[in-house]
Chains A and B, each alone.
Chain A
Amino acid sequence: MVRECLALGILPSSSIGRLSGESLSTFVAPCRTPSGRVHGGRPRFSAEAPARDRSRNRDILPPSHPAPPPHLAKLLLRIDLANETVQKIQSLNRRSLDPIAARVWFALERAYELGGELSDARPYGTFGLPAFPR
């Protein structure tokens, strides 16, 4: 969770030191590296996410679909990440996650807003996004 929030840019990396308590340790656990060290700074989520992206959208997109430009790919990953984090928060169903949930919803709306502006300007706009009715 902390890793996702860092990647979404809604939690400064310095705040890790200020967070404490048992709730944090439960959420940090899946974010630990094999060496047992907690991820610091802004993690690179771009390396693992495209694989997931492709498998999920296989039925929506033809395999010959051109790859989006890097800045758009990053934005789409951001939307994906915000979506996943929202789902995770909803499934965890914890009241203590309220302040983080508020920021994740902010990130989700902001990412969609930027995506919407881009889709107006470029034909790649809907790449990787589920086909919502307009």
Chain B
Amino acid sequence: MTPFLFSLFLAAQRTASLRHDDETQASLINRLLRSYLHYSLYDQADKLISKTNFPASAPNSQYARYHYYLGRIKTVQLDYTAAHTNLQQAIRRAPAPKLAPGFYQAVHKLFVVVELLMGDIPDRSLFRHPVLDKALHGYFDIVKGETHPLFVVQVSSAELTLPT
């Protein structure tokens, strides 16, 4: 997104919030967060979250995205407890794993990384899930103790792409 597009989306977001167009507003907040994260503008994303109220009547799909982006931001800010809560919410609100496997995998990758960073061992049954077992293979090696935990840093930076 260019600065012009950011201002376009921000203006639309202001209009939507004034008109109480909840669905549009939820969508626009998520779009803006996604773009900020795409360019690693975590401070601006955090500012947007603090200045806007995510509409309570937003659909689950938007809530799932919002919690995922929030989880990402909190992870970068090293607030792992908040990140964990948000990612758990994202997993709960996410559509069925077979319906949106990309999102499910992306959320779980970050979730496993956050759990490892908190010093917890993720649940083993997670790695046997038909949608997740291939995507989380590298993370399972870390959990089993076969790979050095430093590998988690490489894996997370290489594989944590933004799902749509």
Q: Residues of A at under 8 Å CB distance from B?
A: 86, 95, 98-99, 101-103, 105-106, 109-110, 112-113, 116, 132-134
Contacts and interface: CB of A to CB of B under 8 A. Distances in A.
Contacts of A133: 2-4
Given A102-B27, A113-B1, 13 more contacts: A101-B21, A102-B23, A105-B27, A106-B31, A109-B1, A109-B9, A112-B1, A113-B38, A132-B2, A132-B4, A133-B2, A133-B3, A133-B4
B5 interface: yes
A95 B38 CA distance: 31
B19 A95 contact: yes
Contacts of A113: 1, 34-35, 38
Contacts of B5: 109, 112, 132
A47 B99 CA distance: 33
21 contacts: A86-B12, A95-B19, A99-B23, A101-B23, A101-B24, A101-B27, A102-B26, A102-B27, A102-B62, A105-B9, A105-B28, A105-B31, A106-B27, A106-B31, A109-B5, A109-B9, A112-B5, A113-B38, A116-B1, A132-B3, A133-B3
Interface string B1-41: 11111000100100010010111101110010011001000
Q: Taking each of A98, A103, A109, which has the highest tally of chain B beta carbons within 10 Å of its own beta carbon?
A: A109
Contacts, number: 52
A95 B34 contact: no
Nearest to A114: B164
Interface in B29-58: 31, 34-35, 38
Nearest to B23: A102
Nearest to B12: A105
A24 to B, nearest CB: 18
A113 B9 CA distance: 13
Contact of A98 (B1, B4, B24): B24
Contacts of A98: 21-24
Task: Kindly list the 6 A-B residue pairs having the minimum CB-CB distance in the complex, ordered from nearest.
Answer: A102-B27, A109-B31, A102-B23, A132-B2, A132-B4, A98-B21
A19 to B, nearest CB: 16
A97 B35 CA distance: 24
B19 A103 contact: no
Contacts of A106: 27, 31
Nearest to A86: B12
Contacts of A116: 1
Q: Taking each of A105, A112, A113, which has the highest tally of chain B beta carbons within 10 Å of its own beta carbon?
A: A105
Contacts of B21: 95, 98, 101-102
